[in-house]
Amino acid sequence: MTSPSETPLALLGPARLIPLLIIETVEDAVPLARTLVEAGLPTMEIALRTKAAPHAIRNILREVPGAVPAAGNVMTPHDLAIARDVGARFALSPGHSHALLEAATQHPDMPFVPGIATPSELMAVMSAGFHVVKFFPGATFGGPATLRAMAAPFPHVRFCPTGGTSEADLEDWLSQPNVIAVGGSWLAPIEEIRARQWTRIGDRARAAVAKYIAHRRTP
């Protein structure tokens, strides 16, 4: 049987940098995604916080070759079902619940990355078969130092930290062997999305890719 973490590992490993996107207007989805793909960031997390988000994922899949849109902010089994229905490549949550983990294991066609903040929470998701997790909110819960401490007791777990990450600490995150990718809204701030500042977003994304490409490695 395929491990619940096998597909997320394959998707997140090559990506390394994951823009976290809040899309409020469906019309913004395709130009934003094209900008990020052209800049070298094809994998993107679209938070299911707005009515536009499911339609955005569907449109990106249909109109932006090479894009790998994921559904973020998945909180309930219903959210997971929405992610499946619109064709998201995978789903991520800032946390987890028993009901959400159970729904995810029952639908292996929708790869799922649960969220954790503590070792006890990590042990809970590991017991359900998940070994690729979102570390959220990463900056609040100790930053890269916390993941350094978790490396020894949890050697087979891979983390995608989000929440308070920034360009300033990105190199430190990516230097941790157990960090598979880093997500951040700073790559495409909501204010710039609202203003449709695609050139500014693209320039920042290209700069991030160029600066941290040296940290790309097989997890």
Structure tokens, 185: 């809204």
Q: Which position among 121, 134, 167, 192 bears the catalytic label?
A: 134
Which of 27, 45, 51, 167 is flagged as catalytic? 45
Residue 52 in contact with residue 194, Cβ under 8 Å? no
**Residue 74 is encoded by which pair of tokens?**
């998945």
Cα angle, residue 166 at apex, residues 162 and 170 outer, rounded to 5°: 85
Catalytic: 192? no
Contact 15, 68 (CB under 8 A): yes
The angle at the Cα of 30, spanning 82 to 62, to the nearest 5 degrees, equals 60
DSSP code at position 28: G
All residues at 6 or more sequence positions from 154 whose CB lies less than 8 Å from its CB, including other chains: 119, 122, 126, 178
Residue 63 a catalytic site member: no
The residues that are catalytic are 45, 134
